[in-house]
Amino acid sequence: IALHGTVGIGKSACAARLAAELAGTGRVEGFVQRALGRGPPGEGAQAYELEFVGSAASRFEARLAWLQRADGHMPPYRVDAAAEATLAEWLDAVRGDPREIDLLLLDEIGQIEARGGGHLQRWQALRALQPAAVLVVVNTARLELVEGVLGQRFDVRIDAAAPDALPCLRDVLLAR
C-alpha cells in the first residue's frame, strides 16, 4: 500500500495515526519519519528523525536522528551514521519476535533507497518476514521509482491529501 503526497502534506502523521490505531489489535512494526525545521512549502526539512512504532518500539529511544540536509548533494540528505547501528538492533528485535506482522510501516522510501542506501537493505530483510500488509510512505513524484526499488507495484495507492485518506487505509487493511 502506498500512502503518497507532496512534501509536508501530512503523510507521516496519517501513517502514525493508523499505526497507533492498529497496534492494539495486531502486531505493527515500523517507523515514521518526523520533519525538523521545515522550510518553505514544497521543500524538505533541515533534518528528519525516525520514530519507531509497534511492538519493538518500546526497546528504543522515542526518536532517532536519521537524515541531515546536505545541500549540493543529490538527494540533498545524508544518513546519520549512528542511526544505522540502532536500526540494525531494531531489525534484530523485529526478527526475534515469532508472531506474524499484521502491518509493516516504512516511512519514507525514496531517492536514497533508489541509490542503494537508506532503508533498502532493511526492506529486503523485512520482506522476508512476509508481513500481512506493508504501508510505504512515498512522495507522489516518486511512486514509480519506489515501485522499482521495492521490486513490485503497489496494490493500492492512497493520496494523503484526500480528506478520507485514513478511513481508506482502514478499509484496505480490513479487506485483507
Give tens-digit pLDDT for 70-83. 988 888 899 999 99
pLDDT, residue 40, reads: 78
pLDDT, tens digit, 9 for 90 and up, residues 15-29 = 999 999 999 899 999
Burial class of residue 6, CB neighbours in 10 A (0-12, 13-18, 19+): middle
pLDDT at 121: 86
Order of strands across the sheet that contains 134-139: 77-79, 64-69, 45-54, 28-38, 103-107, 134-139, 2-5, 157-159
Q: Mean pLDDT, to the nearest integer, of 101-127?
A: 93
Dihedral pair phi/psi, residue 85, rounded to 5°:
-65, -40
Three-state SS for 154?
coil
* Mean pLDDT for the stretch of residues 35-64: 89
The answer to whether 172 touches 37, Cβ cutoff 8 Å, is no
Q: Of residues 73 and 170, which shows the higher confidence score?
A: 170
117 CB neighbour count, 10 Å cutoff = 15
DSSP annotation of 101 reads P
| 45 or 135, higher pLDDT | 135
Which residues of 94-156 form beta strands (DSSP E)? 103-107, 134-139
pLDDT class of 119 with cuts at 50, 70, 90? very high
Instruction: Compute and round to an integer the Cα radius of gyration of the chain.
Output: 15
What pLDDT does residue 166 have?
97
